[in-house]
Amino acid sequence: MTRVFNFSAGPAALPESVLRKAADEMLDWHGSGMSVMEMSHRGKEFISIANEAEALLRELLAVPANYKVLFMQGGAIAENAIVPMNMLRGKASADYIDTGEWSKKSIKEAQKYATVNVAASAKASNYTTIPARADWKLNPDAAYVHICSNETIGGVEYHFTPDTGSVPLVADMSSDILSRPVDVSKYGLIYAGAQKNIGPSGLTLVIVRDDLIGQAIPATPSAFDYKTVADNESMYNTPPTYAIYIAGLVFHWIKDQGGLAAMEAHNKAKAAVLYDFLDTTSFYSCPVARDCRSLMNVPFRLKDEALDEAFLKGAQARKMVQLKGHRSVGGMRASIYNAMPIEGVQALVAYMKEFEAQHG
Ligand SMILES: *Cc1c(COP(=O)(O)O)cnc(C)c1O
């Protein structure tokens, strides 16, 4: 068996030790005689799995006691609707910061439910920057301020937590959650699809402050009303049980690595290998402004896009896969989430140098 270095933007690589443990436990979880997939979500075995996953997540992110952790479904894209349905709380409008493809999607969906004020946009820089907080035109009566903390496609990431005063800050953290410590108390709500840094697709994580729930618009589906989900401990409907189990194994793995501070140090070291190289060559280029570069998703271009295909083929032959950039931006993208070892990034840079020597 050979494992590849998988640079996929999502679903993304998982830690090999997590996959091995899941394989070991596949037929018989802890002497239960069952696979986790076969368990009742209301049985004591699965309840212990779900409780432990939540406890570990709370520990890793130091989630304050007045926040609920919800395991939902529908992905971050469903949250684009679920957030306004729940968070408008009788108000008419919400502020959104436009930093690229994912925030544009959030804005478009929210417009079905609310008056959306785009309080700042990085459009003028072709989405290669994060607008400075000083330039945001926030509405003090907004129900919330929405950001995308890491734009998975464009490769820009917030390296600050914006202060929004008494207006709750809502963040789509799908592609950088658990990559670094976060002060949860600065947010009203955090949501993330699982398939980048948490586990299998099909699970959506929501962390929300208690006082913000319970005022969903009446037409909100019960399964998407944060109050219903919270009151039923994420078991109003059958949760994605296997995905929650794998997420728990990933949380354990992160803890074993030293927690989020260690994760951040590791992610900075990995990203530096790639960005430092990109800054020394004119054969490759990275469009993103230095102070907004993502530690998770690194977009880059070859000088001559006619070489793209040969580059990808050579990478594949060296067991490096999924480096093709998103169809909307072209070029390349290396997604280097928590589970990508530094050896993978070093192998990529070695190959990039080799390719440049041949074609430069
Ligand atoms: C992947 C991603 C999404 C979409 O998640 P789904 O699970 O497909 O709904 C949304 N936002 C960001 C920032 C993402 O990276």
How far, CA to CA in Å, does 301 sit from each of 25, 283, 304, 323, 352?
42, 8, 8, 11, 11
Ligand 1 atom 2, closest CA: 174
Question: Averaged over 140-167, what is the pLDDT?
Answer: 98
Please give the pLDDT value at position 313.
98
Hunting for tokens 């679903």 — which residue is that? 11
The answer to whether the CB of 86 falls within 8 A of the CB of 126 is no
Query: What percentage of the chain has pLDDT greater than the value 90?
Result: 98
- In angstroms, the CA 315 to CA 352 distance is 9
Known catalytic membership, residue 102 = yes
The structural domains of the chain, ordered by start, are 16-256 (3.40.640.10), 259-359 (3.90.1150.10)
Pocket, ligand 1, Cβ cutoff 6 A: 10, 75-77, 102, 148, 152, 172, 174-175, 193, 196, 201
Ligand 1 centroid – CA 75 distance (Å): 7
Strand order in the sheet with 145-148: 67-72, 204-209, 189-193, 169-172, 145-148, 93-98, 115-121
pTM of the entire predicted model: 0.98
Give residue-wise pLDDT tens across range 325-354. Answer: 998 888 999 999 999 999 999 999 999 999
Please give the pLDDT value at position 1.
82
Question: Averaged over 159-172, what is the pLDDT?
Answer: 98
Give residue-wise pLDDT tens across range 114-151. Answer: 999 999 999 999 999 999 999 999 999 999 999 999 99
Give residue-wise pLDDT tens across range 57-106. Answer: 999 999 999 999 999 999 999 999 999 999 999 999 999 999 999 999 99
- In angstroms, the CA 34 to CA 29 distance is 6
| φ, ψ (nearest 5 deg) of residue 203 | -110, 135
